[in-house]
């Protein structure tokens, strides 16, 4: 080894003895040891720079994190970087990697195993195994499989979930309960994914996460700048084979919430060359000069080739991180901006109830008022929703009657009239015993779906279906109700996913009973 090489090696060894204590030091550490220049510049107004996620994860200031990023946007690589940093600087840190498939789990793990040589091999307790690595400081990194059996029983500080949009929902629910703070390391679950489907799991995870925009952009700074003054530990510690970041960890700004970190192609593309003509560039329609501000790593020529090979909807969802393609949505006409607002009860407008029965699956009730007498222009305004599984009919009846509005009629699934061979009674008969009479109208699923579509987007005039903002489950159902991917018998029917279909069924019964097969008249049925 020459003198220059020896000096460089000595410098790297010296850097390794002390955990990075600020954002700038951390960025240099990653550049020197991992040969990664993580982009630090946000380009889109509502996005962050990839390094903002790295700093938030390393500094433990925000708790659970969701990373929504573009294809090729370094999600998996950066997840491996933060896992490696946790393992070497936090003794006893238990990290589990769970991908949408075993192959995805192993991909992040493979990135990790490549980081031990040449500078960190002495920290290993033994050679890394195919799915498990143990360090001399008692930190452990292990790959989990996409199964409840693999996930349940784990009690670890860190879980990295890669490609969440491909997770089994039951496994995702199970993994929510495996993190536990211990040994000065704060518990954290981190989710990484693009968003393939408007009705997929990642879409739900993103919707529930807290937007980090106010924290990041409140003063025009990046997240790493905002948090830079909050060091990893209250006191700097050294690192040896069993070294540690010393000092008590603060609770930070997380407060048990989940924080969203989103970036797209423009945060990860290389800086546009000055001689590149926007007028002749195939990216100009979407770029609008953003690439001139970028400091990423994706080549412009590579991005152009990807755009040429993809359809518009896939390009927008996979690379620009817009809401996913809607080609299989049942109600693409639905828009929160057009159809969701605060609904005020009009005393003169009749109120109707609509039910979908269930026990293991939820029992659903929607209350809606009809504004106007003309069936061609009347507007339906959903006031409230009730969604509850595993309750008896008597318990539901008590809730249904505990509303201040006089109800003109209660509509339901015709199947509610079927009597059980065991009890000799059906749901409608049970409700009758509690003073609630129901009516139903035979109809097909497609007929009800078409009626909802007509109310969402009339051929003439304003929208005729409005949902109160408090009906979060119904709003989500209208956004996510979708067709299956298969072609053949039954493919024209929406998927019965056990979640969204029950709310849509209740809405269908309401529309069919009010407007379907009526000869152009709203039914005036008095409530007994």
**pLDDT the model gives residue 280:** 83
Segment 101-157, tens digit of pLDDT: 888 888 999 999 999 988 899 899 999 999 999 999 999 999 999 998 889 888 999
Tell whether the model's pLDDT for residue 281 goes beyond 60.
yes
List Cα–Cα distances, 196 to 56, 68, 146, 229, 258, in angstroms: 25, 11, 19, 37, 21
Mean pLDDT of 466-486: 88
Mean pLDDT of 390-413: 90
Whether the pTM exceeds 0.75: the reply is no
Tell whether the model's pLDDT for residue 418 goes beyond 90.
no
Model confidence band, residue 459 (pLDDT cutoffs 50, 70, 90) = confident
List Cα–Cα distances, 215 to 29, 55, 450, in angstroms: 25, 14, 43
Exposed / middle / buried, residue 301 (Cβ in 10 Å: 0-12, 13-18, 19+): exposed
**pLDDT the model gives residue 454:** 92
Segment 301-328, tens digit of pLDDT: 999 999 999 888 788 889 998 876 666 7
Tell whether the model's pLDDT for residue 233 goes beyond 60.
no
List Cα–Cα distances, 194 to 72, 191, 479, in angstroms: 10, 10, 18
Helices 472-480 and 501-515, packing angle to 10 deg:
90
Segment 177-196, tens digit of pLDDT: 999 998 888 999 999 998 87
**pLDDT the model gives residue 74:** 95
What lies within 8 Å, CB to CB, of 4 at 6+ separation is none
Q: Three-state DSSP class for 97?
A: strand
In this predicted structure, which of 309-318, 341-350, 402-411, 500-509 has the lowest mean pLDDT? 309-318
**pLDDT the model gives residue 526:** 36
Average pLDDT, the chain: 82
Mean pLDDT of 438-444: 83
**pLDDT the model gives residue 129:** 93
**pLDDT the model gives residue 99:** 92
* Residues 190 and 158 sit within 8 Å (Cβ to Cβ): yes
**pLDDT the model gives residue 313:** 79
Query: How far apart, in whole angstroms, are the C-alpha atoms of residue 260 and residue 190?
Result: 10
**pLDDT the model gives residue 232:** 37
Query: How far apart, in whole angstroms, are the C-alpha atoms of residue 239 and residue 15?
Result: 9
Tell whether the model's pLDDT for residue 31 goes beyond 80.
yes
Segment 326-360, tens digit of pLDDT: 667 889 889 888 999 999 998 889 999 999 998 88
**pLDDT the model gives residue 525:** 39
* Percentage with pLDDT > 90 across the chain: 48
Model confidence band, residue 387 (pLDDT cutoffs 50, 70, 90) = very high
In this predicted structure, which of 94-98, 259-263, 417-421 has the lowest mean pLDDT? 417-421
**pLDDT the model gives residue 460:** 85
**pLDDT the model gives residue 367:** 96
Task: Copy the structure tokens of residue 315.
Answer: 């390009």
92 phi and psi angles, rounded to 5 deg: 75, 10
Alpha helices in 376-500 (DSSP H): 393-401, 427-433, 445-456, 472-480
**pLDDT the model gives residue 4:** 44
């Amino acid at each position: 080894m020459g003198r220059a090489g020896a000096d460089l090696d000595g410098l790297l060894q010296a850097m390794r003895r002390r955990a990075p204590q600020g954002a700038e030091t951390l960025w240099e550490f990653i550049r020197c040891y991992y040969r990664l220049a993580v982009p630090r510049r946000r380009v889109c107004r509502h996005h962050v720079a990839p390094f903002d996620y790295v700093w938030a994860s390393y500094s433990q200031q925000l708790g659970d994190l969701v990373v929504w990023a573009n294809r090729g946007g370094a999600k998996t690589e950066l997840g491996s970087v933060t896992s490696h940093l946790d393992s070497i600087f936090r003794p006893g840190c238990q990290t589990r990697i769970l991908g949408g498939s075993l192959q995805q789990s192993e991909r992040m793990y493979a990135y990790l195993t490549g980081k031990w040589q040449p500078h960190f091999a002495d920290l290993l307790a033994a050679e890394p195994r195919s799915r498990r690595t143990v360090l001399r400081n008692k930190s452990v990194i292990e790959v989990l499989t996409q199964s409840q059996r693999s996930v349940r029983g784990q009690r670890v500080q860190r879980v990295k979930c890669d490609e969440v949009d491909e997770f089994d929902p039951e496994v995702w629910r199970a993994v929510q309960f495996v993190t536990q703070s211990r040994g000065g390391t704060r518990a954290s679950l981190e989710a990484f994914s693009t968003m393939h489907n408007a009705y997929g799991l990642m879409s739900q995870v993103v919707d529930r996460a807290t937007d980090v925009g106010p924290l990041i952009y409140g003063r025009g700074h990046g997240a790493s700048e905002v948090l830079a003054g909050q060091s990893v530990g209250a006191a700097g510690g050294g690192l040896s084979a069993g070294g540690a970041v010393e000092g008590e960890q603060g609770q930070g700004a997380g407060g048990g919430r989940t924080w969203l970190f989103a970036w797209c192609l423009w945060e990860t593309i290389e800086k546009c060359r000055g001689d590149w003509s926007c007028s002749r560039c195939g990216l100009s329609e979407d770029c609008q000069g953003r690439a001139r501000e970028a400091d990423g790593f994706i080549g412009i020529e590579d991005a152009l080739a990807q755009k040429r090979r993809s359809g518009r909807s896939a390009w927008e969802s996979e690379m620009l991180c817009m809401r996913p393609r809607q080609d299989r949505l049942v109600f693409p006409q639905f828009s929160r901006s057009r159809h969701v607002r605060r609904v005020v009860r009009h005393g003169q407008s009749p109120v109707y109830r609509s039910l979908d029965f269930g026990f293991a699956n939820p029992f659903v009730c929607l209350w809606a008022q009809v504004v106007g007498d003309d069936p061609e222009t009347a507007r339906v305004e959903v006031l409230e929703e009730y969604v509850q599984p595993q309750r008896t009919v008597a318990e539901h009846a008590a809730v249904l009657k505990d509303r201040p509005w006089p109800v003109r009629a209660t509509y339901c699934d015709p199947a509610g009239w079927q009597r059980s061979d065991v009890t000799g009674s059906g749901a409608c008969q049970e409700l009758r015993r509690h003073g609630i009479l129901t009516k139903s109208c035979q109809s097909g699923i497609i007929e009800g779906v078409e009626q909802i579509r007509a109310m969402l987007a009339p051929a003439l005039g304003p929208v005729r279906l409005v949902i109160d903002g408090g009906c979060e489950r119904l709003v989500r159902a209208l956004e996510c109700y979708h067709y299956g991917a298969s072609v053949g018998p039954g493919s024209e029917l929406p998927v019965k996913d056990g979640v969204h279909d029950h709310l849509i069924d209740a809405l269908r019964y309401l529309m069919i009973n009010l407007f379907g097969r009526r000869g152009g008249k709203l039914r005036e049925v008095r409530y007994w």
